[in-house]
Amino acid sequence: MVRALHSSLLLIPLIFVLQTAHGQDKKNISGNFTGYTFPRLVDYLEKNTPFTFYYDPKEVDSIFINIQVTNASLRQLLDLVFQGTALHYAIDSSGRVFVSNRVTIRTALPPGFFSRDKDTIALIKEPAEEDNPAQKTKFKASEEFQLIAVGDKNARSATGKATLAGYIRDIATGEAIVGAFLTVDTPAVSVVTDQFGYYTLSLPKGRHHIRITSQGMTPTRRQIQLYSDGKLDINLKEYVANLKAVVVTAEKTSNTRSLQMGVNRLSISTIKQVPAAFGEADVLKVILTLPGVTSAGEASNGFNVRGGSVDQNLILLDDATIYNPSHLFGFFSAFNPDIVKGIELYKSAIPEKYGGRLSSVLDVSMLDGNNKKWTGNVGIGPLTSKIFLQGPIKKEKTTLVLGLRSTYSDWLLKNIPNSAYSNSSANFYDANLRLTHIINSRNTIYLMGYASKDKFNFNNDTTYRYSNANANIKWKHFFSPRSYGLFTAGIDRYEYSISDTRDSTSAFKLGFDIRQTYVRADLNYNPGNKHSFNYGISSIYYQLHPGYYDPVGPHSIVVPDKVGSEQALESALHIGDQYAVNTRLSFSAGLRFSLFNYLGPHDVYGYAPGQPRQINTIVDTTTYGNNKVIKTYSAPEIRLSARYNLPGEASIKFSYNTLQQYIHMLSNTVTVSPTDIWKLSDPSIKPQSGDQFSLGYYRNLQSNTIELSIEVYYKRLKNFLDYKSGAELVLNHHIETEVFTTRGKAYGAELLIKKTTGRLNGWLSYTWSRTFLRQDDPLAGELVNKGKFYPASFDKPHAANLIGNYALSHRYSFSLNVVYSTGRPITLPLAIFNLGGSPGLYYSARNAYRIPDYFRTDLSVNIDGNHKVKQRFHNSWSAGIYNLTGRQNAYSVYFVQENGLVKGYKMSILGTPIPFVTYNLKF
């Protein structure tokens, strides 16, 4: 009893000292320390805080500080100052700060160091993040402060290099973290995790200190003793910021460090912050707010990138090609936001493993799934409902992700005061599945499936249906820590149909479908930190049914018609290398060689030499048998990039790409529609080709919390398809007579300013761009625009977007979206003339005029439930207004002849403010 009393009395001064130290560390620091040396910063801190510093001036003479902080604790300030260095600090109970090089100083023994219950010494644990109560998740002490042995201690040689490899994952879900940075000071090396969260580092054998950072995650570090090749997996925890804490962080540097240019990466959390029509987070609508990306207008399918047409974008969902990326004619994206992990949009410097499109690659990645516990959510909106589930079938071994979404929009159509709409119906559904199975440390299997279907009927008239179906299986195999391969096989299908059965005698069904079966192998080899090789092979087998027209029912007198099917095999080899010359200069060089074989069975028409391609100039027909090679095209595709780091967290990047496209979309509209036809290159229609030069300047400001990028580009296009006036594309057996090839040029400049942290975040983008085409096909007949350049139908010189998010508290936030763009070009009728007693219209030069400019403002408020960690359900609300000002933006302008005069009308799709409320429940 007496001994216990004495012990308690001895603890009182200790508790007082600890509380004093805690209060000191809690003292807030604010100031702009740009251009400070470390001694100057110490002098400021010792005069304005109760801390005293002890350090070796020789070890800090190379530190130059460029940060600005508000309400920061001393620990937060020093974390920013020492990030990227080998220096450590420790603060003792008396307010003394010790700075050391490569060695962590402990200023006190941890609680329970001399355990009465055990004979062992307790592991030392990192001090709690007192300035951030949300960061209470405990890591094992060994994760940051224990020296971790990697490799075989009995390795023959203690000198030379060894490979360190492993995964970076979210500690709560097991989800792989893409784009995490791992940095080593000696030697000066940094690497980024790939699409699977995997990294490799080549380091000298011995002791190393590694720092790991990733956007939205709490930075951590590891101390290792590397004996030989070995594996080190690292778990990160989500960073939950205190709104009163430090305003800036120095964590986000990929904008300048990365060799890749012309790429935009967005997480699903960022996508969900942007207001969207009917409250449904929309991947495609967010894409349209990025520089260099535009669309035809409201509720349009697809998008245009840097002067390219909508068919020049390769849209992938976990490597599956999505031919129609929208629901309900563009009102909703085909991607359920609950299953999306993030997106990458490549506009230039397209990696050599991608091919088949000229303008861009949109890579949408699905969640891997929570491998620790089952979670999910349900969502209810004005037009859609959805359910999402993820969890382990076998814990940390087999994981399932499932998403289902459907609409119930008929009630909205029936309440529109218009009889045509009230007799209409529209609905869609989509389903996603992803299964991940870890066989062992060297082998993992991924299974993916996606299905969607849309149906629309207007005024009990024609019914439109279209659907996507995709499935693939992947096998990831590690040959060694330095080398692995990803082997994929899959099938993609898109089809549409149009039917009308009101009149039994004229009931019909018109349809189209495309199917592609593919295999590919992508391999990576990292011999060291200076080189990173990727190489592989791929092959796609296309099967198209360009159109069929069939009677429906026994009484229909419709005459069947069918355009001959098409087949082709597109194959490619690719190899690339990223070479880091030094810490400032890096190069990437790649080559892709593509080979395209157009196959039978098919009839090929021959036209009279030197004569325009017209039905009356056909002189012969050649019939090819099954799988006979009709025409072969091939071409090398070059990929070159360079990056030079400038002082002050800035860089300059350059890239040059050449690309080939062997498949074309034929459409009379400027956007994707259910009646679009895809066409393979053949003896008459050549592949599209193009090249692009890009140059960019990138800089991070305000301690890496503001990203600035400016890019300029110039593109050349060849064999781009355009259409004759009044072209008939549906059920045309001689489609080559309705199109002609053009040469094109596109150029522009893009600006992006992005704020990544703080209460107020978001981005501002501006694009100036032009796209011109010129007919160069001598066999197409009469020249369009007299053979001179004319604006492409998707040419929009100016586009500006503002995305702003403001966090009022952890529960309440506001989002604002402002969009502006120049109206797209159109061709106008200028006069009526009479020729031989028949009236006619005289039109302007092609695309010489424009529809009115587009402007829209959206606003939303987001309300989260309470932030208690241990609760079974988490709920959230989102409410807002789409098109806040009610502007009637023109989707198109059309003309009709009335009383001998031609009158123009403007069609607007969403011309009124649209309020929305959505509710989500997580469990």
Parallel, antiparallel, or unpaired for β 36-37 and 87-91?
unpaired
Same domain, 301 and 446: yes
Residue of 787, 764, 765 whose CA lies nearest to 775: 787
pLDDT digits (tens, 9 = 90+) for 567-593: 999 999 999 999 999 889 999 999 999
**pLDDT at res. 866:** 66
Q: Give the number of other Cβ atoms within 10 Å of residue 610's Cβ.
A: 8
**pLDDT at res. 124:** 35
d(CA 891, CA 882): 16
- CATH code at position 877: 2.40.170.20
CA 283 to chain centre: 8
d(CA 412, CA 382): 9
Helices (H) and strands (E) in the chain, counts: 9, 59
Task: Tell me, yes or no, whether 249 lies in a domain.
Answer: no
Same domain, 67 and 184: no
Same domain, 649 and 784: yes
Q: How many domains does the chain have?
A: 3
Same domain, 228 and 273: no
pLDDT digits (tens, 9 = 90+) for 658-692: 999 999 999 876 666 667 889 999 999 999 999 99
Residue of 73, 8, 18, 426 whose CA lies nearest to 244: 73
d(CA 482, CA 624): 48
Burial of 894 (0-12, 13-18, 19+ CB in 10 A): exposed
Same domain, 149 and 40: no
Same domain, 451 and 519: yes
**pLDDT at res. 428:** 92
Same domain, 705 and 793: yes
Same domain, 742 and 603: yes
**pLDDT at res. 15:** 37
**pLDDT at res. 20:** 40
Same domain, 209 and 276: no
**pLDDT at res. 675:** 73
Q: What pTM does this model have?
A: 0.82
**pLDDT at res. 420:** 59
Same domain, 52 and 173: no
Question: What stretches of 647-724 adopt beta strand conformation (E)?
Answer: 650-661, 663-666, 677-680, 688-701, 706-723
Residues in a beta bridge with 483: 480, 525
Task: Tell me, yes or no, whether 123 lies in a domain.
Answer: no
Task: Tell me, yes or no, whether 888 lies in a domain.
Answer: yes
pLDDT digits (tens, 9 = 90+) for 249-270: 334 567 788 888 999 988 888 8
Question: What stretches of 423-560 adopt beta strand conformation (E)?
Answer: 425-440, 443-457, 463-480, 483-500, 508-525, 531-551
Task: Tell me, yes or no, whether 130 lies in a domain.
Answer: no
Phi, psi of 328 (to 5 degrees): 45, 50
Q: Could you list the residue range(s) of the whole structural domain that residue 221 is in?
A: 139-240
- CATH code at position 205: 2.60.40.1120
Q: Which residue type sits at 140?
A: K
Q: Which residues contact 49 (CB under 8 A, 6 or more apart)?
A: 24, 27, 29, 74
- CATH code at position 2: 3.55.50.30
Largest CA distance in the chain: 123
d(CA 915, CA 861): 12
Task: Tell me, yes or no, whether 129 lies in a domain.
Answer: no
Same domain, 106 and 151: no
Task: Tell me, yes or no, whether 121 lies in a domain.
Answer: no
Residue of 671, 680, 44 whose CA lies nearest to 303: 671
Structure tokens belonging to residue 879: 């409410």
**pLDDT at res. 122:** 36
Question: What stretches of 26-93 adopt beta strand conformation (E)?
Answer: 29-32, 36-37, 52-54, 64-65, 68-72, 87-91
d(CA 664, CA 736): 12
Task: Tell me, yes or no, whether 853 lies in a domain.
Answer: yes
Same domain, 273 and 209: no
Residue whose token pair is 């089952």: 374
Radius of gyration, alpha carbons of the chain: 31
Ranges under pLDDT 50 in the chain = 1-25, 112-142, 242-251
**pLDDT at res. 84:** 67
Residue of 272, 434, 450, 451 whose CA lies nearest to 369: 434
Task: Tell me, yes or no, whether 133 lies in a domain.
Answer: no
d(CA 603, CA 618): 12
